[in-house]
Amino acid sequence: MPFPKGLFYLVQLALFLGQGPSSGEAASLPTRADNSRTVAPANCIVVKPSGASASEFTSLQAAVNSIGSSTKPACIFLNSGTYNERVEIKVKAPLTLYGSTTDTGSYKKNTVIIQNTLGSQDAGSLDASSTVNLRSNDFAAYNIDFVNGYTAGQAVALTANGNKTGFYGCSFKSYQDTLYVKAGWMYYSNCYIEGAVDYIFGNGHAWIGEYHIYRHPRSDQQSLPRTSLESQRTSDVPVQHSDKCCETRGLLTYGRRRNTFENTGAGADTSQRKYFTASDKALTKQDLWGADFKWYDASY
């Protein structure tokens, strides 16, 4: 059976509805690499929010622009600080962004924030409001917080529109339409995603594993992310190995395929949810991406 667009795999999910991430109920994320990264890896372009030398940059956009039309693999290291800018990444080179951190295996000790406060209505489109608008293939980001501080409607923290893109130990924060999984193969691991409405959406094939979601509480809402294509209902969101899966009452559908496997906790019982049945096996990255599925950083 061919996979529809807008397919998300949610693996080992910790979901918080109306509680902050410091509530004490969060399970510890598995740490795949307990190493610090506080200095730039060899041959990386260096960015500092202040005190940059003549060979360094003060903005991520300037560093990205310096790559030009090169197709040689490149990396950019961002020193600790807050970068107030909107960034478009459209390069031909495979590119890796590294944020300074004392724990590369988690988002919790990230010290690099890229942020803006532009809403989609004012910007003219979802992509244009994005704090980071990724339009490149073969991209990876480690230990960076992507933030859109606009709170009156749609405002994207990250638009991911590229094939074979990975995000490791990152966080994504906004109010509405936080993470735009627009197109391509994507991998998100040990990440944090925050919003109130439609905070994960798009047409991409994304594997989202070992992550935390925080939904801002609203009295009129009980939901997971929006998971259907714009104007269509063809997406699928399998949830597996989660200890905080889903609301136990009422109708809750994520898509057309069977979409739960070996979840635990109060939301794991599917008997009270029409059209939401258990799968007989775990879905795999090869199911999602086919034979060429080993492109991601497997250490995460």
Tens digits of per-residue pLDDT, 54-108? Answer: 999 999 999 999 999 999 999 999 999 999 999 999 999 999 999 999 999 999 9
Residue that wins the pLDDT comparison between 220 and 50? 50
Tens digits of per-residue pLDDT, 132-142? Answer: 999 999 999 99
Strands 132-134 and 87-89: parallel
DSSP string, 160-220: EESSSEEEES-EEE-SBS-EEEEESEEEEES-EEEESBS-EESS-EEEEEEEEEEEPP-TT
pTM beyond 0.75? yes
Contacts of residue 236, defined as CB under 8 A and 6 or more positions apart, other chains included, come to 3, 4, 6, 7, 8, 227, 254, 255, 256, 257, 259
220 is catalytic: no
Give the integer Cα–Cα distance in Å for 292 and 114: 32
Tens digits of per-residue pLDDT, 151-199? Answer: 999 999 999 999 999 999 999 999 999 999 999 999 999 999 999 888 8
Which residues in the chain belong to E strands, given as ranges? 7-17, 45-47, 74-78, 81-84, 87-89, 95-99, 112-116, 132-134, 139-142, 145-148, 158-161, 165-168, 171-173, 179-183, 185-189, 192-195, 200-201, 205-215, 239-240, 260-261
Residue that wins the pLDDT comparison between 89 and 205? 89
In the chain, domain spans: 13-217
Q: Which residue of the set 145, 177, 198, 236 is catalytic?
A: 198
- In the CATH hierarchy, which fold is given to the domain comprising 13-217? Pectate Lyase C-like (2.160.20)
Give the integer Cα–Cα distance in Å for 143 and 81: 12
Give the per-residue pLDDT at 14.
Answer: 47
pLDDT band at 206 (very low <50, low <70, confident <90, very high): confident
Over residues 37-50, the mean pLDDT reads: 96
